[in-house]
Structure 1
Amino acid sequence: MDDKNGQYIYAIVDAQHPPAEGLVGLGGVPVRKIVDEGLGAIVSALHRPKVRPERRNLSAHMQVLKRLMADATILPLAFGNVATDDASVRVLLQRNHATLREQLDAVRGKLEMGLRVAWDVANVFDYFVSTRPDLRAARDNLGDVRKASRDQMIALGRFFEEVVNDERDRIYDEVAGILESFGAEVHRNAPRGEREALNLACLVERDRQSDFDRAIGEAASHFDASYTFDITGPWAPSSFVDMTLEV
């Protein structure tokens, strides 16, 4: 095979796991597997020396992972990993064999699910003013905010941020505790915006997804209509593997 422009690597799998029939990757190129010592790297040949993070390429990368994870445990690689040729891929598998095997075993039979909890309110600041007397007092102490100094407004903003982060910590402790009691492993991600109270990645056994759904329902029952719970997935377990590999 002509691999002069490199081999794009999607994931690591057990050697006996074949790519899905007819699966294609970036640029519509067929996906194949390179095997060494019980591990397999899912790759496709590149027609260009560089791969750009364009929408079509990102989508192709994700579609390959989605198809692969439907049948077996995978270790997903981030977008953009390219080896020069087949031999380089085998060297990668050899040098990282112990780490890859350990991580495959750690996520075997498991999927990643996402959970986002958000404040479903018209204005987050006004919501906290109405629910936190200390923030309301700090706001009221300014009097007419139009006449407040810049330093006063900065101080109020910092206090508001502290209040929000304290509440995020409280929500995390409560929700994560419930999910972990149902057998999920929880990874906390940074919130994406002011309205997001919680952003979790959860490692769940394939055959216990219904238990995970019940756990979400149990957690949501502890909160009022000011909160929304949004589940995403299943995904490949990228939040629970460290794919920093020795090359």
Structure 2
Amino acid sequence: MAVYVYSIVATDHPQRLDDLDGVGDPPSTLRTVAAEQLTAVVSDAPEELRPKRRDLGAHQAVQERLMTDGTVLPMQFGFTAPDDDAVRAVLEERTQEFIERLRALKDCAEYHLKAAMDEDALLRQILLDSEEARRLNEQIKSGGNPPDLPLALGELVANEVQARQNQLAVETLDALDGFARDRRVSEPSGNDFLSVSFLVPRDGEDGFRTAEKHLADELGSDFDLRLRGPLPAYSFV
């Protein structure tokens, strides 16, 4: 039977799982598959697994419990293997790789930051700073001008927006990088100009959160910084 894989830990990890349920309806029973130096936390895999709230919560609860007792390599939701033997074979074949990752993640947690700026505020700033943008905008408002002016203004503003967002992303990373052991930048979505995960040592979390708050205060109300964490280090596995 296919197995659902939650996490990989060192064999000496406490693995306190007795009061937790696995994914599925009815909930599956958690168990472990052990190799010499590594152990995988698994359960039977449901035939039809969907990212429903209960299953996502069960997956996350396993990660959070394991995090409280030691270092964990969290698998993404929905990761399965053919059977226990297949899981054990991977643990044995990739022992050194997984041990190195556990060592890299030791005493760390992931924090994920998304950042956006109010579009109207950004446009006002561009019109305030750019003489060319102001000139084009005034010509358009006065009427009776060539039809390509809105396009020219649109291209100028788009280029300015991209340049300013890139610079803001760099400044944000510079302000927080010193508190993190590693980071992973992903493609932002929607109005965000930055989406980044930081690997933060547990003894430096207070400093990291304080630095993020100072950055948010410094940027002001036109900016929206959303910080989530501490999280299992999904982005660094």
One of 159, 162, 182 as aligned partner of 2:159: 162
Deviation at 1:131, TM superposition (A): 4.3
Deviation at 1:102, TM superposition (A): 1.2
Residue 214 (structure 1) aligns with: 210
Letter in 2 for 1:66: E
How far apart, CA to CA, are the structure 1 residues paired with 2:19 and 2:128? Answer: 56
Note if contact 1:30-1:44 (Cα within 8 Å) is conserved in structure 2.
Answer: yes
Residue 42 (structure 1) aligns with: 41
Is 1:226 matched with 2:222?
A: yes
Matched residue count: 233
Note if contact 2:133-2:157 (Cα within 8 Å) is conserved in structure 1.
Answer: no
Note if contact 2:35-2:91 (Cα within 8 Å) is conserved in structure 1.
Answer: yes
Output the TM-score relative to the length of structure 2.
Answer: 0.84
One of 181, 186, 209 as aligned partner of 2:183: 186
Deviation at 1:63, TM superposition (A): 2.4
One of 90, 97, 100 as aligned partner of 2:98: 100
- Which secondary structure does the structure 2 equivalent of 1:70 belong to? helix
Letter in 1 for 2:235: S
Residue segments in structure 1 that go unaligned for 5+ positions in a row: 242-247
CA RMSD of aligned residues (A): 2.7
Letter in 2 for 1:56: R
Residue 111 (structure 1) aligns with: 109
One of 171, 177, 201 as aligned partner of 1:174: 171
Q: Would the alpha carbon gap of residues 29 and 131 (structure 1) be closer, same or farther in structure 2, given more than 3 Å must change? A: farther
- Which secondary structure does the structure 2 equivalent of 1:191 belong to? coil
Pairing of 1:1-247 with structure 2 (within 5 A):
4=1, 6-17=2-13, 18-27=15-24, 28-48=27-47, 50-119=48-117, 121=118, 123=120, 126-133=123-130, 136-137=133-134, 139-140=136-137, 143-144=140-141, 149=147, 153=150, 156-194=153-191, 196-241=192-237
- Which secondary structure does the structure 2 equivalent of 1:26 belong to? coil
Deviation at 1:152, TM superposition (A): 5.7
Output the TM-score relative to the length of structure 1.
Answer: 0.81
How far apart, CA to CA, are the structure 1 residues paired with 2:66 and 2:202? Answer: 14
Note if contact 1:19-1:31 (Cα within 8 Å) is conserved in structure 2.
Answer: no
Deviation at 1:170, TM superposition (A): 1.3
Residue 245 (structure 1) aligns with: none
How far apart, CA to CA, are the structure 2 residues paired with 1:78 and 1:59? Answer: 13
Note if contact 1:19-1:32 (Cα within 8 Å) is conserved in structure 2.
Answer: no
How far apart, CA to CA, are the structure 1 residues paired with 2:132 and 2:77? Answer: 43
Residue segments in structure 2 that go unaligned for 5+ positions in a row: none
Deviation at 1:100, TM superposition (A): 1.1
Cα distance per residue 1:7-41 (max 9 Å; x no partner): 10011111122143311110221212111121111
Letter in 2 for 1:212: F
Deviation at 1:124, TM superposition (A): 5.4
How far apart, CA to CA, are the structure 2 residues paired with 1:12 and 1:170? Answer: 38
Q: State the identity as a percent.
A: 28
Deviation at 1:47, TM superposition (A): 4.3
- Which secondary structure does the structure 1 equivalent of 2:6 belong to? strand
When structure 1 is superposed on structure 2, of 14-23 and 102-111 the one drifting more is 14-23
How far apart, CA to CA, are the structure 1 residues paired with 2:142 and 2:196? Answer: 36
How far apart, CA to CA, are the structure 1 residues paired with 2:187 and 2:175? Answer: 20
Note if contact 1:135-1:160 (Cα within 8 Å) is conserved in structure 2.
Answer: no
- Which secondary structure does the structure 1 equivalent of 2:12 belong to? coil
Cα distance per residue 1:72-111 (max 9 Å; x no partner): 2111111221112111110111222222111111111100
How far apart, CA to CA, are the structure 2 residues paired with 1:145 and 1:100? Answer: 65
Note if contact 1:139-1:156 (Cα within 8 Å) is conserved in structure 2.
Answer: yes
How far apart, CA to CA, are the structure 1 residues paired with 2:92 and 2:172? Answer: 40
How far apart, CA to CA, are the structure 1 residues paired with 2:6 and 2:195? Answer: 25
How far apart, CA to CA, are the structure 2 residues paired with 1:82 and 1:145? Answer: 63
